[in-house]
Every structure is written in C-alpha cells, then in structure tokens.
Amino acid sequence: MTGDLWVLSATAATVGFLHTITGPDHYLPFVMIGRARHWSYARLASVTVLCGIGHVLSSIVIALVGVAAGIALSRLQALEGLRGNWAAYALMGFGIAYMLWGLRKAWRGETHSHLHRHADGTVHSHPHHHLDSEHLHPHGENESITVWVLFAIFVLGPCEPLIPLAMVPAARHSWMGLLWIALIFGLLTVGTMTATALFLYSGVRRISLPWLERYMHALAGLVIALSGAAIVFLGL
C-alpha cells in the first residue's frame, strides 16, 4: 500500500466516523424503536448493521457505476444530495406515521390474551393490558414492516462524503484502491452506527416509568421525525 493510500485510508476512517456520529439519524431511530419494542441488544445490533450496510452499499454502487460510466464528480454529488433530501423527508414521514400509530395504540388501551405455563405444569390463558408490568413482554406486531421500512430509508439515504473520497483512487485507475477506501469508510460508518446505538440504548432501556410506557411508540415516532427534520432544516 502506497503512502498516499495510507493517508487516504486514514481520511476515509475519520470522515466515516465523523459523518456518522454527527448525524443522529444514523442511530436514534434504532434506539427509540428498540426501546419501544423492548429489543434485545442482539436484535438492536442486527437491525442497525443491516440498515448500515444498505446505507453504505447504495453509495458504493453509485460511485462504482459513476466511475465506470465516466460521470463527473459534480453530477454524482448532485445525485447524492437529491437522495439525501428524499431520505430525510421519508424519515420524517415515517416518524410522523409511527407517532400517530403509537398515539392510536396508547389511546385504545388494547388488551390481549396469552397462554401462560407455570412451574407446576399448569397452563392457563387470561387477558392483560400491553402495559401491565407483570406481563410485560415484546410483541412482534408490525415489527418486520418497521424494520424493512427503516432499511429502505437507509438504502435511499446517501453517504455523501464517500463519493469524493472514492474519486481519488478512481482518478488513478485503481479499482482495488477504490474498493479499499469504500471498505474502510463502510466499516467505520456501520461500526460507529452500531456502537453508538448500543451505547445509547444501554442507558435508555433503564428508564422505566409506567406512564411513559403507554406513549413509548409515539415518543419513538416523534424522535425519528425530529431526526429527519434536523437533516431538512438544520443540514445535520
């Protein structure tokens, strides 16, 4: 590896970390959805990694296609900017929709029943409220839809700093160099997303207020919507 590529690798790692840590939309949606749905650490990490890989790969594919087709850097950056706007509005819309669903769920005060098996082998069924602390457990309703919607939004969302970084080895006709820089940037981006989400989740999941549990889904939607709004109006 040449000295220039080492410098570019360090730059890609630094930019990947800063690009992620300064963008709350990269980790807050997972923290809040995970808290609302009582995800395990493993579940939170797997969903974050999945969305992170989709997030990075979409920009890598665009960079590779752009280089192969000889598309100018300015045009690729314009495309990434457009994708960024679409993703921000999509995140905002998803957050608002999830918040409204959470409010509806809270106001309806739904109850449901499950079979419960006791230590002596007795099995019985009885209805209970979603927020009953004695029977608190995760529910899978709409979870897969939620995860795949998040995945689609992250695939749509660009890694804007990756394009100019990839253009340096591309200008030297070094495909291996381009893929190496993309790998370094991707690892730091996905790694930072996952580590930050897990760190924040370890604190958020300890917050246990009965009145808050009722509106946890609505609060998650609000935070996600605000994350999207921060991109649109504050350029984060």
| Residues 127 and 111: beta-carbon distance below 8 Å | yes
pLDDT at site 173? 62
Partnered with residue 124 across adjacent β-strands are 116
Q: What tokens were used for 168?
A: 């340096």
- In the chain, where are the structural domains located? 3-110+117-234
CA–CA separation, 144 and 129 (whole Å): 22
| Residues 20 and 26: beta-carbon distance below 8 Å | yes
| Residues 116 and 126: beta-carbon distance below 8 Å | yes
How many other C-beta atoms lie within 10 A of the C-beta of residue 203?
Answer: 9
Q: How many helices (H) does the chain have, and how many strands (E)?
A: 9, 2
For residue 1, which amino acid is it?
Answer: M
End-to-end CA distance of the chain: 34
pLDDT at site 170? 66
pLDDT at site 122? 56
pLDDT at site 131? 46
Per-residue model confidence as pLDDT tens for the chain (236 residues): 566 778 888 999 999 999 999 989 999 999 999 999 999 999 999 999 999 999 999 988 888 887 777 777 778 778 888 888 899 999 999 999 999 999 998 888 654 444 555 555 555 444 444 444 444 444 555 678 899 999 999 999 888 888 788 777 766 667 788 888 889 999 999 999 999 999 999 999 888 777 778 899 999 999 999 999 988 887 66
